[in-house]
Amino acid sequence: MIYNHIENRNVESSIMQLKSEINNYNWLVLIGVLLLMPFNWLLESKKWHTCMSHYHTITLRTSIYSILSGITCGLLTPARIGEYFGRLLVVDAVMNKASLYSSFLCSVAQNVITLTVGIIGGIYFCSQVELVDISSETLIISNVVVVILALLTYYYHGHIIRLLDGTRFYAKHLSFISEQKISTSILVRLLWLSTLRYAVYVIQYYGVLCLLGLSQNPIMDITAISTIYLIQSTLPLPPFLGFLARGEIAVLIFSYFSYDPIFIMIATTVLWVINLIIPALLGIMIITRSNITKAISS
């Protein structure tokens, strides 16, 4: 699909237009997008630190190192599942269970926000461009049900986990969840931090669109971005295929605005490099200094 879009465009003309847009635009936008990257991962580090501190004494610096090593490992696995194990490389083995559980909660909290905001934005976007042939009432009701179920699962996940009570696996790996239950206040805090992190993602995406001269209607652009993130979150793909899928989704959604697909691919690539590749390179340096055998031993 991407190849077909690019094949039908005058690439040289698009590149000339891109140079014109960047030369005429304030470079502070790009600097702002870059500066939001450490803030983004600082928020994720704070989320993980908030959970971990409930079980063990841990510094925010260690949390940041753990998150960066997780990004590196996540790039090598489908759905970035490697992030869970990458975070273990920095902490002591005694913290492994708490680390995996904290990573799980942080991930669920972020997905709840992505789902909730994405559904709201998606409903508005679909109503404006007629993306799906479903009545607004049906779309709203069905998605409200999905959000409610997601929130119930998040807040009452402990009850679901306790269904395994009595099993050897529960006794060995999950009993600490009931013994040292995460408070509701912590769960709420994770959602707020996830909301801030989601806002950072949206601002970065919108900033890159503005930098490339693509933004026409801020509200439609933002709802389109939330729709893209919603669809992305449902695709458990390996890193390279995930990157291509992101481009495909973005080109599809923004095709309703007649944005140049080459520019959309550039925007997707810029965000991918800033938010994943650069932190992953930092993570490599952290991993090389870690005792992997000690970290993953039980």
pLDDT digit string, tens, across residues 108-139 = 999 999 999 998 888 888 878 766 555 556 66
* pLDDT per position as a tens digit, 7-22: 555 555 555 555 555 5
Dihedral (CA of 186, 187, 191, 197) sign: positive
Dihedral (CA of 215, 218, 224, 230) sign: positive
* pLDDT per position as a tens digit, 72-104: 988 877 777 888 888 888 888 888 888 999 999
Residue that wins the pLDDT comparison between 197 and 81: 197
Are 283 and 33 within 8 A, CB to CB?
no
Rounded to whole angstroms, how far apart are CA atoms 104 and 111?
Answer: 11
Rounded to whole angstroms, how far apart are CA atoms 289 and 23?
Answer: 41
Dihedral (CA of 164, 47, 233, 295) sign: negative
pTM reported for the whole predicted model: 0.86
Rounded to whole angstroms, how far apart are CA atoms 225 and 1?
Answer: 19
